[in-house]
Amino acid sequence: MTAITRPEPKNPQLLLSLKRASTDLGIDIETPFSLDLPCGCIEADALVKDFGYECGVVINVNTRETGDLYKHLADFGYGVATLSVSDCDAGYDSTKWKILCREWGWKGKGNPPDWY
């Protein structure tokens, strides 16, 4: 079994950006995020729920950990996004988060946020 360990986001700016996006834009975000799959355990920086895939989009920063384990996420209803450290270091930008979420598309059961 493969295990990727990341107890909390490595980049504090990402954590702040995720919290602000959740509050300001009404996005349901779980950070950190872990998921046990039959093929191993994924420990990620965050899960952005209701966008991209049925179960949301798993976010990591500058990772090469998108090997075989991450290929299985789509089979379980999850997407994967890798953010660059420079994006995180730039701080919170609501416009960038809106664009990103619009690109992923709304997949939630209820109505999308008003800005969508």
To the question of pTM greater than 0.75 for the whole model, the response is yes
Instruction: Say what the pLDDT of residue 62 is.
Output: 57
Q: What is the gyration radius of the CA atoms in the chain, in angstroms?
A: 14
Instruction: Say what the pLDDT of residue 23 is.
Output: 95
Residues 6+ apart with CB under 8 A from 29: 18, 19, 21, 22, 46, 47, 48, 49
Q: Helices (H) and strands (E) in the chain — how many of each?
A: 4, 7
Q: What element of type H or E holds 44?
A: strand 40-44
Structural domains for the chain: 2-104 (3.40.1350)
Instruction: Say what the pLDDT of residue 20 is.
Output: 92
Share of the chain above pLDDT 90, in %: 44
Instruction: Say what the pLDDT of residue 5 is.
Output: 44
User: 1-15, 32-46, 95-109: which has the minimum mean pLDDT?
Assistant: 1-15
Instruction: Say what the pLDDT of residue 89 is.
Output: 59
On the question of pLDDT at 64 being above 70, the answer is no
On the question of pLDDT at 94 being above 70, the answer is yes
